[in-house]
Amino acid sequence: MFPERLTKGYRAFLEGRFAVERGRYQSLAGSGQSPSIMVIGCVDSRVSPEVIFDAAPGEILVARNVANLVPRYESPSEEDPSHQHGTSAALEFAVRALRVRHIVVLGHAFCGGIRAFVSEAAPLSSSDFIGRWMSQIAPAAEEVTEPRGETDSYLRQLEFASVELSLKNLMTFPFVQKAVEAGELNLHGAYFGVASGKLLVRDSRTGQFEPVD
């Protein structure tokens, strides 16, 4: 049976937000989407970009994965089609098809994926999907100055460092690099405090994450 919570939620949406924004939905259906912003976020249920940024339908394109990671670019291979790259495909769609003007990597506090990388505990070990996925942040862990461990300080530093790594990895995609260098695309890092609700934005000049005014 379809979850009753979703049925109730849909009915509330239909009678509330959809009723108010029916015209916008109809316009988007006819003209298609043209968001100027893409957000790469985490699958964590507490960190929905559409909720955090109070976005209307069609305003932001969202791609979510465990720990909001952007892998390094890998050239598609006809010889080995088994390698599927969902995040890379979403990036290509955003930049080459929709021509977004901004890409935001949105990290967050209390990230389970980051903790999984640090703890290396089953069922999130290197032999599992999440363990293998999270292994790509090893270069970020090398940049953390705090002694490794499951302390709040270390985990927080690693959460910031993983956003930095994803921003670097974005520039390994030829079409992203080309758009950035042409002044057609801007890359941003941000961090959401789940408990506090505070949003920190990375200063591109200093690399520091500062509160939004």
pLDDT by residue (tens digit) across 123-136? 666 667 888 899 99
The predicted structure's pLDDT at residue 7: 97
Q: How far apart are CA 109 and CA 195, in angstroms?
A: 8
- Phi, psi for residue 188 in degrees, rounded to 5: -135, 150
Sequence-ordered strand ranges (E) for the chain: 37-42, 60-65, 102-108, 186-192, 199-202, 209-211
Topology of 33-211 in CATH? Beta-carbonic Anhydrase; Chain A (3.40.1050)
Which residues 6+ apart lie within 8 Å of 95 measured at CB?
103, 173, 175, 176, 179, 185
pLDDT tens-digit series, residues 156-188 = 999 999 999 999 999 999 999 999 999 999 999
Cis amide linkage into residue 123, ω under 30° from 0 = yes
Other CB atoms within 10 Å distance of the CB of residue 113: 23
Return mean pLDDT, the chain.
92
The ranges of the chain annotated as CATH 3.40.1050.10 are 33-211
Are 170 and 187 in contact by the 8 Å Cβ rule? The answer is yes
The predicted structure's pLDDT at residue 75: 83
The predicted structure's pLDDT at residue 33: 94
Q: How far, in Å, are 15, 48, 190 from residue 60 at the CA level? A: 23, 12, 15
Give the strand order in the sheet containing 60-65.
60-65, 37-42, 102-108, 186-192, 199-202, 209-211
> Does residue 61 sit in helix, strand or coil?
strand
Kindly give the parts of the chain with pLDDT less than 50: none
Name the token pair of 197: 């609700």
pTM, two decimals, is 0.92
